[in-house]
């Protein structure tokens, strides 16, 4: 008898983010496996096994800690420090390294949109900058962009602490549409 893979459908909730997980095909364990389904009205997870509930709770507890570990190669700049620096005599160049559609939906005021995969070709826009701040939504593309900047000997590179979510959580407004 051939075992069919079971589908695992999860609903992830955090303070600022609610999104459905992808459907993952996972082989059922010989002892019965794990199936997670969601309630149609509340979208809260329903677990078939108590162990699954405990594992889910453990994941949600550890996820913020794991996400907070930093692999950044540049110093962080807080939204407040960035705002103060932009009001000074030598403002920094702020680069939103997300795709153009994401940039258009909301970005830090004054930020240029240079997607991380096009940054190496557009380094001429950074000529004469006193420093550069890069950000994305959660940090993955920021890390790629800062690596590109470091490899091309760009000085005074910072990353925005918390990315765009950190900017919003600090109470600063975002600008929608094109242009800085």
Same domain, 145 and 116: yes
Model pTM score: 0.61
Q: What is the mean pLDDT of the chain?
A: 75
Same domain, 38 and 109: no
Same domain, 83 and 37: no
Q: Confirm whether 82 is domain-assigned.
A: yes
Please name the residues in contact with 135: beta carbons below 8 A apart, sequence gap of 6 or more.
94, 95, 96, 97, 108, 111, 142, 159, 160, 163, 164, 167
Q: What are the tens digits of pLDDT across the range 7-56? A: 444 444 333 333 334 333 333 334 444 455 555 665 555 555 556 666 65
Average pLDDT estimate for 57-80: 69
Looking at 68, 91, 107, which one is the last position of a domain?
68
Residue 16 confidence (pLDDT) = 35
Ranges 23-32, 54-63, 126-135: which has the least confidence: 23-32
The larger pLDDT score, comparing residue 112 to residue 180, is at 112
pLDDT band at 119 (very low <50, low <70, confident <90, very high): very high
Ranges 89-93, 114-118, 120-124, 174-178: which has the least confidence: 174-178
Same domain, 58 and 80: no
Q: What is the DSSP letter of 153?
A: T
Same domain, 80 and 159: yes
Selected catalytic residue, list 94, 95, 97, 136:
136
Residue 128 confidence (pLDDT) = 84
Q: Confirm whether 86 is domain-assigned.
A: yes
Same domain, 118 and 80: yes
Total number of domains in the chain = 2
* Contacts of range 118-121, beta carbons closer than 8 Å, 24 or more positions apart: 119/95, 119/145, 119/148, 119/149, 120/148, 120/152
Looking at 38, 68, 98, which one is the last position of a domain?
68
Active site residue 136: yes
CA distance 161 to 72: 10
Q: Confirm whether 91 is domain-assigned.
A: yes
Cβ atoms of 149 and 72 closer than 8 Å: no
CATH at 144? 3.40.250.10
Looking at 22, 38, 68, which one is the last position of a domain?
68
Same domain, 81 and 60: no
Residue 61 confidence (pLDDT) = 61
Q: How many Cα neighbours within 13 Å face the side chain of 176?
A: 1
CA distance 164 to 172: 10
Structural domain that includes position 96: 76-169
Average pLDDT estimate for 66-73: 64
pLDDT band at 101 (very low <50, low <70, confident <90, very high): very high
Q: Confirm whether 174 is domain-assigned.
A: no
Same domain, 105 and 24: no
Nearest to 140 by CA among 164, 122, 121: 164
């Amino acid at each position: 008898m051939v075992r069919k893979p079971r589908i695992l459908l999860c609903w992830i909730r955090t303070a600022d983010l609610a999104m459905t997980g992808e459907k993952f095909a996972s082989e059922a364990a010989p002892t019965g496996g794990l199936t997670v389904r969601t309630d149609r009205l509340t979208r809260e997870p329903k677990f078939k096994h108590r162990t699954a509930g405990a594992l889910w709770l453990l994941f949600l507890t550890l996820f913020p800690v794991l996400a907070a570990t930093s692999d950044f190669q540049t110093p962080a700049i807080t939204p407040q420090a960035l705002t103060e620096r932009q009001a000074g005599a030598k403002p920094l160049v702020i680069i939103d390294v997300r795709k153009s559609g994401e940039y258009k939906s909301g970005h830090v005021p004054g930020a240029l949109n240079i997607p991380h995969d096009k940054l190496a070709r557009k380094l001429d826009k950074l000529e004469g900058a006193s420093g550069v701040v890069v950000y994305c939504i959660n940090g993955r593309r920021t890390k790629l962009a800062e690596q590109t900047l470091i490899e091309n000997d760009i000085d005074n590179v910072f990353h925005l602490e918390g990315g765009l979510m950190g900017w919003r959580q600090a109470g600063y407004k975002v600008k929608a549409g094109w242009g800085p």
